[in-house]
């Protein structure tokens, strides 16, 4: 795309994204990814030094974020802003190349940003949103490969899909659609194999093999395989069984999804016109359809319909909708008060409504932060409390699903398990509790924090609260009773401080069964 078309996309991204920079950490996903990203930078490996169920690509992305913008909530917001602007630019380039129209590309970039920044802040910088950039880059190089028929373009297209698979493994199946595109108007068999199929195979394999080699060299490959192919599928099954129809309906009718539904309608309209009239657009359109269907499949397979599960749908719909946006603007200019033009104006108004509302809310929150009037963040205060009472090399442990505490306290966990949720359930083929107890005994954290999380509702996707899980975990309770004493308690948490070695031994004998 030419510079005059690039600038509007960047400016819209900055307009919508700069208001996000004042937001703090969420409790769960972004802090855990930051924690694991720091582990990667320090020479460790996901799943071994720090454990989470997500695929490793998000931890590598967060390691890059820490390098570029620091280990802070502001840093990840800046990184996400740059990432999403880059995604919109790549989508704009792909849309312009696909539809032979820079305006269609411009509207593709606009549509993506409007939908993404309509979402709530706890859905930003998720793996489901970051995955759009590598998939968009793969699509752009696929279009180039179909035009030039150069092996380099085909290989780069597959390479980006391989990178996307590191964020969510199921998106590797998008490569099947890419392989099918290689057989459209193929050259002779020798040319087909050398210029298309072989580069595709090499390209998609490189990031996957490199990651496998990295994990193996760090002794984490077996844990990765166990996590992704045993624990993750069982977790998904538990979510589907726990979440009921009411939760799904509640998720689908959220106002923040209104822009997505409008873009979906425009994308379907554009796809229908493309398949009927434009032969040269059919293969890219079908690829976008496969990309969307893969995202829809992950949404259904997860079964929880959390807000961030919708994020992978945004990019392919925005590309397809770009042509429809162009058609609408052609009909609107010169402006005529017809039925169609009024409907078009109403649709565009609804598309922009939620981003405008969110922009106002975020601007107000940013003003509160800058003026010192923002609500206090409980976990930040607790993190400061722990940091002031520990040394930099001291370890702590938080029983609860608040990994943000480790970041606020600037202290490492004594255990790789930074979520109590995965220690609270009985898994069919793995039991993490013995390993956790061994790490807790060896690490001897200076502070043990118990989060008083009550019984969660079904729509949260959690089966048990942290407090109830702690009460059920008798061995852990015994360790805490024998080696720790209460230092601080609020309605949200209890802070236990480790006793001296002598006091712990005496207390342990008193707490032992039969004494």
Q: Which two tokens stand for residue 410?
A: 């600037």
Question: Which SS3 state, helix, strand or coil, does residue 475 take?
Answer: helix
Pairing of strands 395-399, 447-451: parallel
The string of DSSP letters for 346-385 reads HHHHHHHHHHHHHHHHHHHHHHHHHTT-SPP-HHHHHHHH
Q: Nearest CA to 297 among 172, 437, 151?
A: 172
- Spatial distance between the Cα atoms of 437 and 439, rounded to a whole number of angstroms: 5
Q: Tell me the two tokens of residue 170.
A: 């199921």
Give CA–CA dist 211/228, Å, rounded: 14
Using CA atoms, how far apart are residues 119 and 307, in angstroms rounded to an integer?
A: 8
CA distances to 326, 350, 427, 469 from 402, in Å: 45, 36, 21, 15
> Which H/E stretch holds residue 92?
helix 73-99
The conformation of residue 247, written as its DSSP 8-state character, comes to H
The number of beta carbons lying within 10 Å of the beta carbon of residue 308 is 18
Give the 3-state secondary structure of residue 2.
Answer: coil
Share of residues in the chain with pLDDT > 70 (%): 91
Sheet of 395-399: strand order equals 412-413, 395-399, 447-451, 493-498, 484-489
Please, which pLDDT band fits residue 515 given cuts at 50, 70 and 90?
A: very low
Contacts 24+ apart (CB under 8 A), 205-213: 205/162, 206/159, 206/162, 207/159, 207/162, 207/163, 207/165, 207/166, 208/162, 208/165, 208/166, 208/172, 211/56, 211/57, 211/166
Q: What's the pLDDT score for residue 1?
A: 58
Categorize the per-residue pLDDT at 340 as very low, low, confident or very high, splitting at 50, 70 and 90.
Answer: low
| Cα 97 to chain centroid, rounded | 28
Question: β-strand 395-399 against 493-498: which pairing, if any?
Answer: unpaired
Higher pLDDT, 515 or 465: 465
Q: Is the pLDDT of residue 313 over 90?
A: yes
Asked whether residue 396 carries a pLDDT value surpassing 80, the answer given is yes
Q: What is the pLDDT of residues 18-75, one digit of tens each?
A: 999 999 888 788 999 999 999 999 999 999 999 999 999 999 999 999 999 999 999 9
Kindly report the length of the chain. Answer: 515
- Given a contact cutoff of 8 angstroms between Cβ atoms, the answer to whether 489 and 513 are in contact is no
- CA 449 to CA 382: how far, in whole Å? 10
Asked if residue 391 lies in contact with residue 447, where contact means CB atoms within 8 angstroms, the answer is no
DSSP letters, 112-157, are HHHHHTTS-GGGTT-HHHHTHHHHHHHHHHHHHHHHH--HHHHHHH
- Tell me which residue of 82, 69, 67, 68 sits closest to 130, measured CA to CA: 82
- The 10s digit of each residue's pLDDT in 414-468 is 999 998 989 988 888 899 999 999 999 999 999 999 999 877 776 777 778 899 9
| Among 426, 461, 464, 422, residue whose Cα is nearest residue 242 | 461
SS (H, E, C) 308-328: HHHHHHHHHHHHHHHHHHHHH
The answer to pTM > 0.75 is yes
Alpha carbon 365 to its chain's center: 23
Q: Which helix (H) or strand (E) holds 398?
A: strand 395-399
Q: Residue 233: pLDDT above 60?
A: yes
- Rounded percentage of the chain residues whose pLDDT exceeds 90: 67
Largest Cα–Cα separation, the chain: 89
């Amino acid at each position: 795309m030419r510079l005059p078309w690039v600038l509007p996309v960047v400016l819209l991204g900055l307009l919508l994204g700069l208001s996000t920079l004042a937001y703090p950490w969420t409790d769960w996903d972004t802090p855990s990814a930051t924690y694991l990203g720091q582990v990667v930078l320090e020479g460790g490996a996901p799943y071994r030094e720090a454990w989470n169920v997500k695929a490793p690509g998000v931890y590598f992305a967060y390691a890059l974020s820490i390098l570029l913008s620091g280990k802070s909530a502001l840093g990840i917001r800046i990184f996400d802003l740059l990432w999403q602007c880059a995604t919109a630019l790549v989508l704009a380039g792909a849309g312009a190349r696909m539809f032979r129209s820079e305006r269609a590309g411009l509207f593709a970039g606009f549509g993506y940003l409007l939908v993404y920044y309509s979402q709530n802040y706890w859905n930003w910088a998720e793996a489901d949103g970051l995955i759009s950039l590598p998939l968009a880059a793969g699509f752009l190089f696929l279009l180039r490969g179909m035009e030039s028929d150069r092996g380099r373009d085909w290989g780069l297209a597959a390479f980006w899909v391989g990178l996307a698979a590191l964020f969510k493994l199921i998106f590797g199946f998008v490569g099947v659609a890419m392989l099918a595109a290689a057989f459209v108007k193929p050259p002779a068999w020798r040319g087909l194999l050398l210029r298309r199929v072989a580069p595709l195979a090499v390209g998609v394999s490189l990031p996957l093999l490199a990651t496998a080699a990295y994990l193996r060299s760090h002794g984490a490959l077996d844990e990765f395989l166990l996590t992704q192919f045993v624990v993750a599928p069982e977790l998904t099954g538990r979510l589907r069984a726990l979440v009921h129809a009411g939760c799904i309906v509640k998720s689908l009718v959220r106002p923040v999804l209104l822009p997505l539904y409008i873009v979906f309608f425009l994308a379907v309209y554009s796809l229908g016109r493309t398949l009927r009239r434009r032969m040269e657009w059919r293969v890219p359109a079908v690829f976008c359809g496969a990309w969307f269907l893969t995202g829809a499949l992950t949404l259904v397979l997860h079964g929880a319909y959390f807000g961030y599960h919708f994020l992978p749908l945004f990019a392919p719909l925005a590309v397809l909708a770009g042509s429809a946006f162009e058609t609408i603007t052609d009909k609107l200019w010169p402006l005529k008060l017809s039925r169609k033009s009024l409907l078009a104006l109403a649709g565009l108004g609804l598309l922009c409504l939620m981003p405008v509302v969110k922009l106002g809310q975020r601007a107000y929150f940013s003003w509160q932060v800058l003026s010192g009037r923002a609500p206090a963040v409980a976990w930040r205060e607790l993190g400061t409390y722990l940091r002031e009472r520990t040394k930099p090399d001291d370890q702590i442990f938080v029983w609860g699903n608040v990994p943000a505490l480790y970041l606020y306290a600037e202290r490492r966990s004594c255990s790789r398990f930074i979520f109590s949720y995965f220690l609270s359930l009985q898994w069919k083929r793995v039991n993490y509790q013995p390993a956790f107890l061994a790490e807790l005994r060896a690490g001897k954290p200076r502070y043990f924090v118990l989060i008083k999380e009550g019984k969660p509702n079904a729509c949260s996707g959690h089966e048990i609260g942290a407090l109830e899980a702690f009460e059920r975990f008798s061995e852990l309770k015994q360790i805490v009773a024998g080696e720790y004493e209460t230092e601080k308690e609020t309605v949200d948490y209890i802070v236990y401080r480790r006793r001296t070695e002598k006091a712990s031994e005496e207390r342990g004998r008193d707490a032992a069964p039969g004494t």
